[in-house]
Amino acid sequence: MKADRLAEARFFRAITVIAAIAFSATASAQQYFNTVKAKLENGQQVVGGTVSTNNIDIYCAMANAGFDFLWIEMQHSPLTYSEVAAMIRVCPGPAIPFIRVPDATEGDIQKAVDIGALGVIIPMVDTVEKVENAITYAMYPPLGKRSQGGGQYGTLWGRGYRQQANDNIMIVAMIENPAGVEIVDRIASLDHVDVVFAASSDMSSFTGLRQGDPEYEALITRIRDATLAAGKYVAGPSAWKDTREGYTFFQGPPETSLIRTGARQSLGGGGGPPGLPRGVAPTEGSEDL
């Protein structure tokens, strides 16, 4: 019975979220239901929490925690598209679903957008062709070759999805090695590439250089400068938020890190639940779903 009530509550919350997004899109001149794209175009920064578990309760907690989007990790996790589809269906927002796909294949890209992702994050971009493939399969004709298949995208984003999808789906290209840096200007200049991500730890892994090393910083600066010169958004880890100029799109911590931080704060007496004075315990069952 409790599970049924929880499912019902999530259903009505999802409907409320969708209605709010639809209203926001109607009020916007760009007609965006992708609030991440709208915020970036308005000059705002966006931060996404990273999710790599199939636990729907954790996913919904992350979706309602205040992040602008969720970085759903399918490259380095055992998550399946069936699991991710269920997660997005239960809690489609307020955080917008972005998926880091395993690779820029037709199957991966098509499945990601069909289950409702409004952002496709392409890992290990070191050829122009890789990003071109992602664009081709993420976009409907005449811009691409995305087929008119089944999926839950219409349920999540409305009947007008087919007509507005190409304007709302975002492509994020990750530059993780020196080969990608060499062609970053070509990648950033591609139509429909929205964001170029400077992968901090991967760049260290591929080069053996640490942040702060002049050679490392030269590579990262080249990514930033080429991206901004092309009029696109430059991205990086949330640790770079407000510490490096030009960055507006950030990957936030994973759910495991946030749970660990929250537990340490709780065990250390770092304050109670929001809205309650220190020393007052919440009523059981009153926590956010």
Q: What is the pLDDT of residues 50-72, one digit of tens each?
A: 999 999 999 999 999 999 999 99
Can you give the pLDDT at residue 200? Answer: 92
Q: Spell out the residues 6+ positions from residue 190 whose beta carbon is closer than 8 angstroms to its own.
A: 128, 131, 132, 135
- Of 37-41, 139-143, 147-151, 194-198, least confident by mean pLDDT is 147-151
In a domain, 272, yes or no: no
More confident residue, 169 or 264: 169
Can you give the pLDDT at residue 269? Answer: 65
Domain of 24, in residue numbers: 2-267
Q: Are 81 and 149 in contact (CB under 8 A)?
A: no
Average pLDDT over the chain, rounded to whole?
A: 87
Q: Which of 11, 12, 20, 76 is catalytic?
A: 76
In a domain, 277, yes or no: no
Q: Where does residue 245 rank: exposed (0-12), middle (13-18), buried (19+ CB within 10 A)?
A: exposed
Residue 289, pLDDT above cutoff 50: no
Question: pLDDT band for position 279 (50/70/90)?
Answer: very low
In a domain, 54, yes or no: yes
In a domain, 288, yes or no: no
Q: Report, as an integer, the average pLDDT of 222-231.
A: 98
In a domain, 221, yes or no: yes
Query: Does 192 qualify as catalytic in the annotation?
Result: no
In a domain, 274, yes or no: no
Residue 287, pLDDT above cutoff 70: no
Residue 196, pLDDT above cutoff 50: yes
Question: pLDDT band for position 265 (50/70/90)?
Answer: confident
Considering the chain, what percentage of its residues have pLDDT values greater than 70? 82
Distance CA 122, CA 174 (A): 6
In a domain, 187, yes or no: yes
Q: Report, as an integer, the average pLDDT of 152-172.
A: 94
In a domain, 188, yes or no: yes
Can you give the pLDDT at residue 5? Answer: 44
Q: Are 92 and 14 in contact (CB under 8 A)?
A: yes
Q: Are 63 and 94 in contact (CB under 8 A)?
A: yes
Can you give the pLDDT at residue 277? Answer: 60
Can you give the pLDDT at residue 274? Answer: 58
Can you give the pLDDT at residue 26? Answer: 38
Q: Report, as an integer, the average pLDDT of 95-104.
A: 97
Model confidence, pTM: 0.84
- Of 25-34, 123-132, 235-244, least confident by mean pLDDT is 25-34
Looking at the 3D structure of the chain, how many domains does it have?
Answer: 1
CA angle at residue 115 from 111 to 120, to 5 degrees? 65
CATH of residue 260's domain is 3.20.20.60
